[in-house]
Chains A and B, each alone.
Chain A
Amino acid sequence: GAGVSQSPSNKVTEKGKDVELRCDPISGHTALYWYRQRLGQGLEFLIYFQGNSAPDKSGLPSDRFSAERTGESVSTLTIQRTQQEDSAVYLCASSSPGQWTYEQYFGPGTRLTVT
């Protein structure tokens, strides 16, 4: 079956521009997470969606970052007025709460480079 997909796979943008990153979770997965992975670092939690509940935005680093999710499907992460420190791989993961393994399935990520 299809896994988590993300687009674009690579994005190069100029400082100050806005970017949108897309995540298609595994069908039927109600939970969706965004993480950021800076070069040589571990993943940092950004935001979490669960069904129709209010998202947990506690990991967003600034108000330039926002995310939306339509129901239990696609999510978009938007970064406004990009800065060079935003350069990273942005990873999306989905899971199905209730699975005893609590496994999060990750997509391949979007590599964002801000020049």
Chain B
Amino acid sequence: QQQVKQSPQSLIVQKGGISIINCAYENTAFDYFPWYQQFPGKGPALLIAIRPDVSEKKEGRFTISFNKSAKQFSLHIMDSQPGDSATYFCAASRVGGGGNKLTFGTGTQLKVEL
């Protein structure tokens, strides 16, 4: 059972453009929604995360939009740069209690072209 669905699988954006990646979840108990960035040969690194008490969080060029009623959240990368080319994973978890076990989406390969 795939509890977090991510789209698109791959994305090509021109330098300076906006990259948008979408995720949908099923488990209403999830209350922590991070995005991870992964470069080839490296482990994922936390990019930005949101809790469901807010609908948007912005850090620099990266913004998470969160829609609790639709059980959807998205990552927006403004002014995309070639250095942003990587694989992006959304994830979700229920923090506290039995640990913060992350359920990941299947990933989006982003390529930013000059």
Interface residues of A (CB under 8 A from B): 4, 31, 33, 35, 40-45, 48, 50, 56, 58-59, 91, 93, 95, 97, 101-109
Contact = CB atoms under 8 A, between A and B. Distances in A.
Contact of B43 (A45, A101, A107): A107
Nearest to A6: B43
Contacts of A93: 43
Given A42-B89, A91-B43, A102-B34, 11 more contacts: A35-B102, A40-B106, A41-B106, A42-B104, A43-B102, A44-B104, A56-B98, A56-B99, A59-B101, A102-B93, A108-B41
A53 to B, nearest CB: 9
Given A41-B106, A91-B43, A48 B101 contact: yes
Contacts, number: 67
B22 interface: no
Contacts of A56: 98-99, 101
Contacts of A50: 99
B103 interface: yes
Contacts of B12: none
B100 A102 contact: yes
22 contacts: A4-B43, A42-B4, A42-B89, A42-B105, A42-B107, A43-B91, A43-B104, A45-B102, A45-B103, A48-B98, A48-B99, A91-B44, A95-B100, A102-B32, A102-B34, A102-B49, A105-B46, A106-B43, A106-B44, A107-B43, A108-B43, A109-B43
A93 B34 CA distance: 14
A41 B100 contact: no
Interface in B56-102: 89, 91, 93, 95, 98-102
